[in-house]
Amino acid sequence: MRISDMNWMQVEAYLQQDDRAVLPLGSTEQHAYLSLSVDSILAERIAVEAAAPLGVPVFPVLAYGITPYFRAYPGTVSLRISTYLDVVRDILDSLAGHGFKRLLMVNGHGGNSPAQSFVGEWLTSHPDVRIKFHNWWNAPRAWAAVQAADPVASHASWMENFPWTRLASAAMPEEPKPMSDLARLRQLDPAALRTYLGDGNYGGRYQRADDEMLRIWQAGVEETRALLTEAWG
């Protein structure tokens, strides 16, 4: 259930019998012909679908992340690493202070990886809290489903093209895009990266059949839900 569908009294009552919560992490960045909010949409939706049968509250997605390399694409918003980690710290401090002791962070954006290291540091001063940091798209089951469908999968390609991330107003190319040189990409400034990358897709097909995508999605939902029910250490 979404925390936005609860009031504070209901949250207080929930905490008397459970201490789990889910925090999705996303970003606002270019995804070629897809929504700028792809990472946020996917992280929040998979968190909500995974937690719903368990009655575990899901907090609103943190919709801004670390994405400096795409700043030459209009609409992309990037936080400094220090800013981002300060925001994550404040959120965790708030949740722990209210009594949430088992937190699942569902991350939808690879650029947010500094948060995973930060969580380990934060936990040293909060020994009564348990946190699982979950990159849902490349966790074992979800990634196996992606690879089974098409091993050529990348940023802004078909693997992020779900019915809820595509735009009805945007027509996508039918032919696959040659894979970009990822090592070269990492060496480019934002302007040079846009010149090299073009539309923003790193490589591969732009779209696959919805039945294939839904199989990948279901694997991701089930894998995420399992983290809420399995041992917390």
Position 104 scores a pLDDT of 98
Q: What residue ranges in the chain does DSSP mark as E strands?
A: 20-25, 102-107, 130-135
Q: Does domain 3-228 have CATH number 3.40.50.10310?
A: yes
Domain parsing of the chain, residue ranges: 3-228
Helix (H, G, I), strand (E, B), or coil: what is residue 75? coil
Q: Phi-psi category of 75—alpha, beta or left, where left has phi over 0 and alpha has psi -120 to 50?
A: left
Longest dimension (CA), the chain: 55
Per-residue pLDDT tens digits for 91-106: 999 999 999 999 999 9
Token digits for 153? Answer: 């999968």
Whole-model pTM: value is 0.96
Per-residue pLDDT tens digits for 153-191: 999 999 999 999 999 999 999 999 999 999 999 999 999
Position 233 scores a pLDDT of 78
